[in-house]
Structure 1
């Protein structure tokens, strides 16, 4: 059990950080909804060049405010270092024009304007009024987004044609008569709240209007991408060393030697393949390949789940059991964090992801599984490690404990600061930790963990190799990496169906620096732990280290190592 503590007095630096969160929420209501701040769900973000300029000016003015302040304690010192790193880099990215050219297959405004509705409250008439308002404001946001992409193109910065074409496909799906927007406003959640009263009839009318407006806006976006942007889009997927260096820092919160990291990725992939082969032979006998072991596991009924409800129930049971087992033994888990909700996502992209709780925990932390169309069979051997990654001790423990820490951390540290390398690196570290604790001792589950680690190592090689145009190892064809050479490499190292691998392939090509942040983040977490263990000597306490590290919240990995040193 977490012991009650005396709240830490707010410092001047905390006041600046808290004020920054409020100002970001005003400028970017979608971000406010994402972190669960009430009062913004009826509003929409400005995605135009002017909107990006306003957010950059807020970053600059906040940095100026921080310059005049001195830290009062270690919490302040971390806040100051983390805000300088995050906001300073955001200004660099803005000055390079990067926010204007934000288009990829997974995490750009094209998806964000639709995905926000997955986490908005739906249990009251007021909640549906907010949804109706936001739907009716969505066309303006799309127009702003188009203006930003147009301005980026005017400056000579256009997304690669692969991302534009995939964007056209996704936008057209959302523009169709049977798109998400149609099913959302006609779904059971709306029906459960909106009766036939005159007030609810008006809300339903606004929802219908908003859904139509949203579909029409996505139709405009598809037409713009196809007719205006595609003719200007370059064929090459790689972004080059200079831009990649910015993106790498964005996702890691650390500066790494990209050539050394690439070489490490090659070695790490080979190490994991060797370990995976050894486990495969444990499963399927001497001389067996990984493919032989996978075939045996896929045919074994004890690892099989049938249907999405069985998948959801298994996720929930596995996540709940991990919390019960680890609490008080390896971690002290706060009361609200002991609840996680496992969900089948309304999308069908194949992704698995986590959304943190709202500030007041009225929306719990949730693990989402986006099941592709037609997929009804699932193997637990492959996915147990994923539940630990998304749940406890992975993202849920990490993110929800930060939300709880209002007695120590300001709202920016608790709710708004998210660094992919810190978060995803911790989640991979958590998978490996569960293996070390014996939770993946079953050979099938362990093969699944190694399978996931292998994919993450392959992404380091793929992502840095293609975007920097580095030399490929001879075993993967030699010569310079490009998208064509990378496809067979990825298929050989990602043990998923081809549609999933193709989605991941497009994702890495369009979101440079993000995919390696998982495995590189894990590496930096392990280095920080090893340094702390060496310094502690005989007094080393893993539980204490993890508590201290997680109490920092999500910060850049350079800031993390300094704070733990």
Structure 2
């Protein structure tokens, strides 16, 4: 699997081999075709994995100092400790939220796929057929966490808001027969179609059970307070970032940044023709109607996305060593949701390409490019897609780092760092696109102050951009709508997301700050010999890791 004589690689090999018995991504990462169809969501595996991570820490600590692959050792040691910490807070066992929870993994395993009369179609059928078992395993884990609530510093039941959010989501999946509506290609035989129908019916039944558990069992004992509190939050933030930060300093910096960015956006909006008390909103309305930035129809949106990604790729050669696989990305336009852009990396087995997806409101195939360019840089290049392809293409990295080491601060911090980098490299072409960049930065800065405030209970301070007052979810939503021009429905979802994933909201702008600080420190060390291209090459070559060990390796 990897370097046979390196003791750190051998420890990582053993860890991934154990994961591969329970998690499809791990099996794919080491080239196994006999892995499970869906992740094991049972409480038994939750506890076994926790113990396994403790074993990995003990084995790493037993090695002599500086033994083996030091980058992998730092990355693996930090992640095992942080993941166990998340378990100890109760976050992992009780995880219920409107985004990226265990039950979402079941849906994502089929999302965007079509039932075809080939091996890929058979694999899809097996995943849907496995969904009822995975759903009931998740139910068992939620019940186990509730029964063992005293074991966890943050409790064993998610707050009422998160239970209600997920219950409503899952209920919609059942009502719309989401699994039964998976597209079926021509020439798929009747037997396969019936298997899909039977599996969808069984999955709907299991999902209905989940809704009942969320509403009838857990809600009666769930906390009504959303924040995790000042004792738990710092540890969760550190786990999300892979770095320890001064929360008080970060909170103050967030408010300072928000004031700076809002003032800058107002000046730029005025230059773009915005007038009145809210020149940013006025300028946005003008730009949305400007034919230069307006796209009408799915083909026009898709073509623009493809051309912009291709042009960006060609413009990055001076700042990056680009792998050949960077061109293997599919640009997709979906009418399934509100207007956001997101990225899905290729699976470890390479069976599908990476995808940059632009979702637009169903029935309204109109989009404005000026505000989405920065999302393309974040999700595509030089953001998530570039980082993912560099990582996945490096045979010198252990499979665990290439495919399984997911750290929000590293990945989202890089992608947000890449937004500003794109402007510095001349990829943001005019003041309108720069306004879009600023609105994206304001959005991520509201996340900092809102996430810290809502979870710690710290109030809005005197002298901030808005009057001093206690935090509420409604206030956080108001700031997103007012300063970042986030649509109300999306702003509400955003706030629910912050409350369900404590600390994750810091990964973007605070993560980017840590990336920038590491680059600046490296520039001081290198002096006149500093090269941006070499910094990016060296940083990404280390592979995904917590931002504290990343800085240590870059400067060491």
Q: Which TM class, normalised by the smaller chain length?
A: over 0.9
Alignment counterpart, residue 486 of structure 1, candidates 476, 494, 508: 476
1:393 aligns with 2:382: yes
1:560 aligns with 2:555: no
Q: Within 5 A, what are the aligned runs for 1:102-141?
A: 102-118=95-111, 125-141=118-134
Scaled by the length of structure 1, what TM-score is found?
0.91
Distance 1:530 1:30, change over 3 A: closer
| Alpha-carbon offset, residue 524 of structure 1 | 0.4
Equivalents in 2 of 1:36, 1:383: separation in Å? 36
Alignment counterpart, residue 21 of structure 2, candidates 4, 26, 31: 26
| Alpha-carbon offset, residue 349 of structure 1 | 5.7
Secondary structure of 1:271's match? helix
Distance 1:124 1:564, change over 3 A: farther
Equivalents in 2 of 1:195, 1:141: separation in Å? 26
Post-superposition Cα deviations, 1:281-316, rounded to whole Å, max 9, x if no partner, equal: 221168771112111111111101123332222212
| Alpha-carbon offset, residue 361 of structure 1 | 3.5
1:507 aligns with 2:500: no
Q: Within 5 A, what are the aligned runs for 1:119-518?
A: 125-154=118-147, 155=149, 156-176=155-175, 178-184=176-182, 187=183, 190-192=184-186, 194-196=187-189, 201-284=190-273, 289-327=279-317, 329-345=318-334, 347-348=336-337, 350-406=339-395, 408-474=396-462, 475-518=465-508
Post-superposition Cα deviations, 1:90-113, rounded to whole Å, max 9, x if no partner, equal: 122223332211000111123221
Distance 1:446 1:92, change over 3 A: same
Unaligned runs of 5+ in 2: 150-154
Q: Is the 8 A contact 1:175 1:217 kept in 2?
A: no
Distance 1:216 1:438, change over 3 A: same
| Alpha-carbon offset, residue 422 of structure 1 | 1.0
1:58 aligns with 2:57: no
Alignment counterpart, residue 41 of structure 2, candidates 42, 47, 54: 47
Post-superposition Cα deviations, 1:382-429, rounded to whole Å, max 9, x if no partner, equal: 0011111111111111111111101x1111111111211111111111
Equivalents in 2 of 1:139, 1:441: separation in Å? 49
Secondary structure of 2:231's match? helix
Unaligned runs of 5+ in 1: 1-6
Post-superposition Cα deviations, 1:447-495, rounded to whole Å, max 9, x if no partner, equal: 0000000000010010001110112135434232232332322321231
Equivalents in 1 of 2:338, 2:56: separation in Å? 38
| Alpha-carbon offset, residue 61 of structure 1 | 2.1
Distance 1:28 1:389, change over 3 A: same
Equivalents in 2 of 1:41, 1:203: separation in Å? 22
Scaled by the length of structure 2, what TM-score is found?
0.92
- Partner residue in 2 for 1:521: 511
| Alpha-carbon offset, residue 72 of structure 1 | 6.8
Equivalents in 2 of 1:400, 1:216: separation in Å? 39
Secondary structure of 1:342's match? strand
Distance 1:371 1:529, change over 3 A: same
Distance 1:336 1:8, change over 3 A: farther
Alignment counterpart, residue 530 of structure 2, candidates 530, 540, 543: 540
| Alpha-carbon offset, residue 125 of structure 1 | 2.2
Distance 1:144 1:358, change over 3 A: closer
Q: Is the 8 A contact 2:373 2:436 kept in 1?
A: yes
Equivalents in 2 of 1:165, 1:250: separation in Å? 26
Secondary structure of 1:145's match? helix
Is the deviation greater in 284-293 or in 373-382?
284-293
Distance 1:102 1:32, change over 3 A: farther
Q: Is the 8 A contact 2:75 2:549 kept in 1?
A: yes
**Cα RMSD after superposing both structures:** 2.3
Q: Is the 8 A contact 2:21 2:35 kept in 1?
A: no
| Alpha-carbon offset, residue 116 of structure 1 | 1.8
Equivalents in 2 of 1:12, 1:460: separation in Å? 40
Which has a greater percent of helix? 1
Equivalents in 2 of 1:519, 1:486: separation in Å? 17
1:93 aligns with 2:86: yes
Equivalents in 2 of 1:211, 1:314: separation in Å? 36
| Alpha-carbon offset, residue 518 of structure 1 | 0.3
Secondary structure of 2:53's match? helix
| Alpha-carbon offset, residue 42 of structure 1 | 5.4
Q: Is the 8 A contact 1:398 1:553 kept in 2?
A: no
